[in-house]
Every structure is written in structure tokens, then in C-alpha cells.
Structure 1
């Protein structure tokens, strides 16, 4: 009968414990609810039609508001303007304060003023500005004996970019930062769980019995692999739900461009998570009590913050360079892939560097873990753990 490797037994136990853990189940359900809710809200906002009541108090402004109402759906098909007559400016201000109307349009010395109670909605402002500009331009052109088309001929500016796709830029930006946030919180959540399990076993002295029967290298490998399986499994569920939800919204056109990049994200997440998990295991081994864990895990938390904020704020050359530097590359390279600014060969090189870094770090972490795990006299520093004999 073939004996099962010890690390597999440890990994299966870790998986069984995490799958049945209430906090893991509740956290997964909450995250799925957040994803579904965010996609549902985005779909609802995108499809929702808005009607704005715009008041006028003179024949001149009446003609303008009615003209805007006719043009509004041509500018934005989801925006409708409903003209409302008021006696004068004071009546309009009173109606605004009572929230009976959304805006009051009237002429002034320089053109037109759109009065609102607070900041005007971007949709209303955009429609009114474009409509008024077109109406006034047409009137001025007719007065000059020409047409608006002739006056504006050759003035259109089309937007394009060398890197990425201008039509997908907004959604790529949202997806990229969403992936960075998911990586950060998943690493914190699963990492702290792993570190806690190590320090609890150490604090209860169970680890001494485990170490007598299980090689510490196998124990470390089993814990990391077990937690990685759960983390990646959760990530695949989130990605699947997100992609299905995205396909049901008006943003479904972006799926072909995003699918490959999200696949790369899962790969980078797996490698990056394994790399960081070794550090979390060491943080647990350095602590003798649960209370010590906050101190021993601070360097990892700081590293994750650097990775997260680096992903948020690095741009241009800095972002390109950072996407090759482990472990920052675990976040930045997927973001560049989502953004469409990375060539096909770049993630391969970045992944190879990340794996090489991970192998070196695992060897270092294994040494620290095996030397610190059985030390129960108090919290150890990295320097003290390194000097201990196995």
C-alpha cells in the first residue's frame, strides 16, 4: 500500500478546517453579495432613465428649454427634459428649495445660466451645455448666412491612444483596481488565518507533538498548499461570478478583452499568495502568543500596503518597472494586462522572476520557520531566529 506524503495529509486537513470554518463561509457569502450587488447597481445605473424638470420664466427661456427637451435624447438617450413654467426667478428659487423642480434656465449677459439647488447632476449639465451650444451656434450661423455644420467643419477631435483601447479604458481601470483590492484583502485574510493557526498550535504546545511525527518542511508545505487551494478556489468563484454578472450588463462587450488578463491574474495571485504565505507562516512561528502576532506580522502588513498603494499610484515608467519587481509584480502586472499596456511576453518574464523570487524566499522562510516554531520562551526577532540551531 502506497503511503500518502505527509504534506498532502496536512494540506487536506487545512482545507477541511477552512471549508467548514464559519468565518470563511460567511466571508465568502459576503464577498459574493458585494460582487453581485456592485454589478447589479452598475447595471441598474447604466439602464436607468432620468427625467429632469427644468423651469423657465420668459418666452426666450421657454423656447430654449423646449428646444433642449427635443434634443435631450439625441445627446443622451437616458435623459429626458420636462419644461416647467414659473412666474419669475424668485418663484424658481422657491421651487428649487422645495425640490419641486431640478433646475432653472435663464439668459444672462454672457449667455445662459443653469441654476440648481446644489451641484448639478453631470447628466443634466452635459445635456444642457451641449444643447445650448448647438442651438446658439445654429442661430449665430444663420445670422451670418452660413450653417453650423460649415462653422464646425474639421473641428471634431477623435480620441485614440498607442497603448490600450480608448473605448475600454474606464472599465479596464475599474477592473484593474478591483483586482488589486481583492489581492490585498485576500492576502490579509488568509495570511492572518494561517499565522493564527501556527501560533495557536505553538501556544497550545500541540506543535511539539506534530513536530515529533512530521518533518517541519512537510508541515510548512502542507499548510501553505492547503491555504493556497482555498484562496485560489475562492478567487475562481469570485472571478466566475464577476464575469457572469458582467456578461449580463451593458459592459459585456469588454469580456473578450478582459478574460485573458483575468486568467493571468489568477496565475499571479496563486504564485504571489504562496510567496506571501511563507512569510505569514514565519510571522506565526516567531510569535509565542496570539498577542505577539500583531508585532511579528507588521513587516508583512507593511509590504502588502506598499504593494497595494504602489498599484494605485505608480504610473508610466514606474508602473512598467514595478510590474517586473517581485512581489509587487503579482499585483502590477495583472493590472497592466487588464489595462492593455503589457506585451504578450511581459507577463511570462514577470512570472518567471516572481517564481524565482518565491523559491529563494521559501528556502529562507523554511529555515526561519523550522528554527522558530519550537521556541516558546517569548517572541523572537528575525535575527534571533536565524541564529538558532535546528
Structure 2
């Protein structure tokens, strides 16, 4: 309850939600902006090609603007100077050549090439005395999707990155909060008063469960904001699978966070000053970074294996569910493994926490803490 009334916590939560909504809005704005390509051309034939390219690109908001110049040398100079994006010149025999500076322009390659081919087919059809339909007979291609509800691969990568980022953000923010609160209680000797009133085991449970509930609530708000952004971007058709993967991510995170929170409490109990926390929390921070990078960069068999490894499965398994590469029973097995590992970690962490919490003489190591008597 104190955390919920903390102004910094509330502001950071609101700012993060606004950032998610803003990023989605900016992404939607950038995707909706028309692509404009400036093209240097020579002669009227180039104008005809660009007119047809504009017709083909209209559906995707791609437009081409022609800039007439004297000859090929002038076209090349315009491209070198950056005055235009690409050049278009006639090439023998009766063809065209696109000229770029350092890389190909995808829009020009796609639509200007298609426009030139269509115009050439029309001329050839007229010369042969046939219609375009007759000339194109037998060339139709239909596209059948075997998995119509599958998520777009690019969107799946974005979802995996978002899962990894949210895991990293929540783990560090709430974890550091737990560790700092333990250190403050040791420094102020409040822990001695608390220890006389309640068992230390209950004190640890309160910290872990309380912060897990806060992390759960915050993640739900972030996920809802992100899913709302998908609707805004016109991705509502893929909302079902992403929402399912996001639900699994929250479940995996909450179960895994119980273990991480216990370890953060241990990091705080091993310290006597805030300055000690950097040393005692380094292994845990490294673990979180490893999970972050594994969730973003692992692929193929490595990702499948990671989706069953406790902690890394927080990101890897929901990401596979978003991609559609995991069967329905796989998250159940991975979650069971996570729960078993969490139980074992909490038992060990609770023992270290109880033995080191009342020690205020100096920073302890794990070996020293385990050697202490209960």
C-alpha cells in the first residue's frame, strides 16, 4: 500500500504506459506516411513509365516524382549530388536502367520495374495482334495460406523484444526495491523490532508476495496498453494469438518473479549498507541480463531449449507461442519446471535470508551466510 501511494512509482508507471502508447502511435504514423521517391528522367518515355508506377504504387501510398534532365550524365550527377533518390534512363535494346548512389531503392525496384514490364507487354501484345488478357493467359498465380491466423514474423520479433524489455524493467525496478528495503531495515535496526513481532520467514513472504502483486498489476497495465496499440495499428486480426502469448508471459513472469524476488531479498540481507548492494546483487543482475539477451537473440533449437529452462522460459516460451512454433502442451511443461525451480530457490533463499538478516557487522558472502546458525 505504501508503494501504491509512492509518487515516484505512480509517475513511472504512468510515464511507461504513455511511452508505450506514444511508441505505437509514432509507429502507426510512420507506417501510414506515403513513400515519396524523386526520380531523374530523360525524355517523355520516362514520364509514361513513372505514371504507370504511380498507378501501381497508389495502394501502398508510394509515389514517384519525375525530374527531367538533359541526358544520362545529368541523371548520374543528380543521383551523386543527392538531389534525387534514383535515376531512370533508357537502355538498349528498348529497356530501362535504374541508377542509384550506394544502395537500391526498394520502391523503385518494385514499382518502376513492374511498370516498365507492363508497358512492354502492352506494346508486344499490340504488335502481335492479341489482347493483354490473351497474352497473360495461364500466368495467374494464387496465394494460399496454410496458417491464416499465424502472426506476422516481423511482428513476432517485436513482441519478443517487448517481452524481454518488460521482464528486464520489472525485474530490476521491483528487485532493487526489495533489496533496498531490506538494507534500510537493517541500517535503521527496524528489523530487530520486526523480528520480535513476526517470524523472519513471514517478513520475506510479505516482501516477495507484495512486490509480485505490484509487478503483476503493472505488467497487466503495460500489456493492455500494448494490445490496444495493435488495434490502433490495424493488427486486430493478430490480436488473439498475441493476447494469448501475453497472458502466458504474465503467468510465467509472476511465477519466476517469486524466485527472483527471493534472491533480491537475499542480496539485500547480505549487505549492511547501500554501497554493498552493487557487489551482492552483481550475480543476479548478470542473470537478468543473460535472460534479456537470450530472449532477444536466441533462435531455432537454442530458443526451444531456453523455453524450458527456468527463468529464461519467462521470455522464450511466450515468444514461441506468439510465433506459433510451440504446441499447446509445451507451456504447461515449462511452467511446471519453472514452478519446481522457483520452489527450490525460495527454500534456499529463505534459509540464507534468515541467517544473514540479523548480521549487521559487515557484508557477508553466500558461503558465510550458509555457515551461520539459525
- TM-score (norm: length of structure 1): 0.85
Q: Does 1:261 align with 2:245?
A: yes
The equivalences for 1:224-373 within 5 A come to 224-373=208-357
Q: How far is the alpha carbon of 1:47 from its aligned partner? A: 2.3
Deviations 1:193-241 (A, max 9, x none): 1111111221222222222222110000001111111111111111111
The equivalences for 1:121-132 within 5 A come to 121-132=105-116
Aligned to 2:152: 168
Give the one of 56, 71, 79 matched to 1:88. Answer: 71
Q: How far is the alpha carbon of 1:257 from its aligned partner? A: 2.1
Aligned to 1:78: 61
Give the one of 196, 199, 204 matched to 2:188. Answer: 204
Structure 1 residues 203-212 or 345-354, which shifts more? 203-212
Distance 1:148 1:319, change over 3 A: farther
Question: Which structure has more RCO (C-alpha within 8 Å, separation ≥ 6)?
Answer: 1
The separation in 2 between residues aligned to 1:365 and 1:177, in whole angstroms, is: 30
The separation in 2 between residues aligned to 1:230 and 1:172, in whole angstroms, is: 27
Q: How far is the alpha carbon of 1:318 from its aligned partner? A: 2.1
The separation in 1 between residues aligned to 2:56 and 2:210, in whole angstroms, is: 60
- TM-score (norm: length of structure 2): 0.88
Is the contact between residue 138 and residue 148 of structure 1 (CA under 8 Å) also seen in structure 2?
A: no
Distance 1:205 1:104, change over 3 A: same
Distance 1:130 1:175, change over 3 A: farther
Q: Does 1:64 align with 2:58?
A: no
The separation in 1 between residues aligned to 2:323 and 2:231, in whole angstroms, is: 19
The separation in 2 between residues aligned to 1:98 and 1:284, in whole angstroms, is: 60
The separation in 2 between residues aligned to 1:326 and 1:152, in whole angstroms, is: 57
Q: How far is the alpha carbon of 1:253 from its aligned partner? A: 1.4
Structure 1 residues 273-282 or 301-310, which shifts more? 301-310
Deviations 1:100-158 (A, max 9, x none): 54432113469544335665554444323443455456666777898798689569595
Q: Does 1:34 align with 2:19?
A: yes
Is the contact between residue 196 and residue 290 of structure 1 (CA under 8 Å) also seen in structure 2?
A: yes
Q: How far is the alpha carbon of 1:294 from its aligned partner? A: 0.8
Aligned residues: 372
The separation in 1 between residues aligned to 2:136 and 2:30, in whole angstroms, is: 36
Measured on the aligned residues, the alpha-carbon RMSD in Å equals 2.9
Q: How far is the alpha carbon of 1:249 from its aligned partner? A: 1.9
The separation in 2 between residues aligned to 1:125 and 1:206, in whole angstroms, is: 70
The separation in 1 between residues aligned to 2:72 and 2:316, in whole angstroms, is: 54
The separation in 1 between residues aligned to 2:266 and 2:354, in whole angstroms, is: 9
Which sections of structure 1, spanning at least 5 residues, go unmatched? 1-15
Structure 1 residues 153-162 or 234-243, which shifts more? 153-162
Q: How far is the alpha carbon of 1:50 from its aligned partner? A: 2.9
Is the contact between residue 86 and residue 105 of structure 2 (CA under 8 Å) also seen in structure 1?
A: no
The separation in 2 between residues aligned to 1:304 and 1:85, in whole angstroms, is: 58
